[in-house]
Amino acid sequence: MSNCSPDSQAKVLIIDDDSYFLEMASEALSDICDVETYRNPQKGLKRAMQDPAPDLIILDVIMPTMSGYQICRELKQNTKTFNIPVIFVSSLEQISEITRCFDLGAVDFIGKPVQMPLLLAKVKNHLMMKLQRDMLEELATKDPLTGLDNKRSYDQTLQNEWKRASRDKSPLSLVVCDIDFFKKYNDHYGHGQGDSCLKKVANSIYKTANRSADLVARIGGEEFAIILPNVDKQGAWRVANNVLVNLRNKQLPHAKSEIHKYVTLSVGVATVMPDYKESPELLFEAADAAMYDAKQNGRNRVIA
Ligand code: GH3
Ligand code: MG
Ligand code: MG
Ligand code: MG
C-alpha cells in the first residue's frame, strides 16, 4: 500500500523561465532521472502538487509572474510537497539573496551560469539522500507484514486530525476492526497461514476504506483502525459496514470459526466533535467499546 517502487526512475521537476537552461539541464540529467520542465511558474507549482510527486525540484529565483521564493514558500507550506528537496539555480550573487533560499527550506543553491557536471553531481547526491529519507520514513510508519500504516503513524495522524477537527469544528470518526476467532485460525492453519490471512484482510479493508479514509492502519496483532476525518455518524457506519461485508464476501476459509466457516470481523464505530480540551483517546475508547459490544453480541457485525 506503499506507492514507492524501488525500480521506478526518480522524477525531477525544473521550473525556470529560461528555455535554454531547461534544455541543457534536461539533457544533462536525462541518464539518471525523468525530467519534466516548466517555463511557467504557476503551472510548475501546480504540477508539483500532483501525483506522481516529484522527488526533487530545481527552481529558478527570478521569473516574470511568480518568484522562485514564492514557489518554495508554497511548497514548504503544503503537507503533500514540503518534503520534496528544492535546489535553487540563480544568477543572484548577494549573500542575503542566497541565504534566503536556505531560510525558505532549500537544500542547495547553484549559481548561474550552471556548470552541468556540477548540477548532475548535486542532483545525484540529493536524490540519494531523498531515497534514504523515504526508506527511513517507510520503516518508521509502515507495518512490514501488511504494508498498512503502523500504530505509530496511526497515533500521530489521530492527534493531527483531532487538532484539525477541533479547529474546524468538524466531526471525526474512527472505525476499529478485530478479526473473529483468530487464535483458532492460527492454531488450526499455523502461524504462516495466519500471516497470509492478515495480509488478505488488510488488503480488503484498505481497498474498501481508503477512498474515504485518511488512514487505514494495523494497530495490533489482528486489529485494524480507519481514521475518517470530517465523516459523520452515518458516513462512518457505511464505511464500517462495507468493510465488514466486503471481507465476509471474500469467503476466506476459517474451518474453526464458530460463526460461518469464513474469516469475519467485529467492527466498532465512534464519531465525535473533537475539542482541544479532550484527547483522541476518548474516541478510541468509544470505538473500542463498540467493537467489544460487537464481540459480545455474536461477532461478525458492526456496532456504532
Ligand atoms: P476474538 O474473536 O474474541 O477476537 O478472538 P481472537 O482469537 O481473535 O482474539 P485473541 O485476542 O484471543 O487472539 C488474537 C490472536 O491473534 C492471538 C495471536 O495468535 C494472533 N496474532 C496476533 N498477531 C499475529 C500475527 O502477527 N501473525 C499471526 N499469524 N497471528 C497473530
Ligand atoms: Mg529567471
Ligand atoms: Mg484482538
Ligand atoms: Mg480477534
- Residue located nearest, by CA, to atom 21 of ligand 1: 221
Q: Is 249 helix (H, G, I), strand (E, B) or coil?
A: helix
Confidence of residue 82 (pLDDT cuts 50, 70, 90): very high
Q: What is the ipTM of this complex?
A: 0.97
Ligand 1 close to Cβ of residue 181 (< 6 A): yes
Confidence of residue 5 (pLDDT cuts 50, 70, 90): very low
Active-site residue among 138, 222, 223, 285? 222
Q: How far is CA 61 from CA 19, 73, 76, 92, 99, in A?
A: 14, 12, 16, 8, 12
What average pLDDT does range 272-299 have in this prediction? Answer: 96
Task: Write down the pLDDT at residue 212.
Answer: 80
Note the pLDDT tens digit of each residue in 170-196. Answer: 999 999 999 999 999 999 999 999 999
Task: Write down the pLDDT at residue 7.
Answer: 55
Ligand 1 close to Cβ of residue 281 (< 6 A): no
Ligand 1 close to Cβ of residue 199 (< 6 A): no
- Residue located nearest, by CA, to atom 18 of ligand 1: 183
DSSP H helices in 190-280: 191-209, 233-250
Task: Write down the pLDDT at residue 173.
Answer: 98
Q: How far is CA 25 from CA 55, 67, 90, in A?
A: 16, 20, 13
Note the pLDDT tens digit of each residue in 98-139. Answer: 999 999 999 999 999 999 999 999 999 999 999 999 999 999
Sign of CA dihedral 246, 269, 223, 151: positive
Ligand 1 close to Cβ of residue 179 (< 6 A): yes
Could you give the angle at the alpha carbon of 60 between the alpha carbons of 65 and 64, nearest 5°?
20
Note the pLDDT tens digit of each residue in 195-251. Answer: 999 999 999 999 999 888 789 999 999 999 999 999 999 999 999 999 999 999 999
The rounded Å distance from CA 60 to ligand 3 centre is 53
The rounded Å distance from CA 17 to ligand 2 centre is 5
What average pLDDT does range 290-296 have in this prediction? Answer: 98
Task: Write down the pLDDT at residue 238.
Answer: 97
| Distance of alpha carbon 246 from alpha carbon 242, whole angstroms | 6
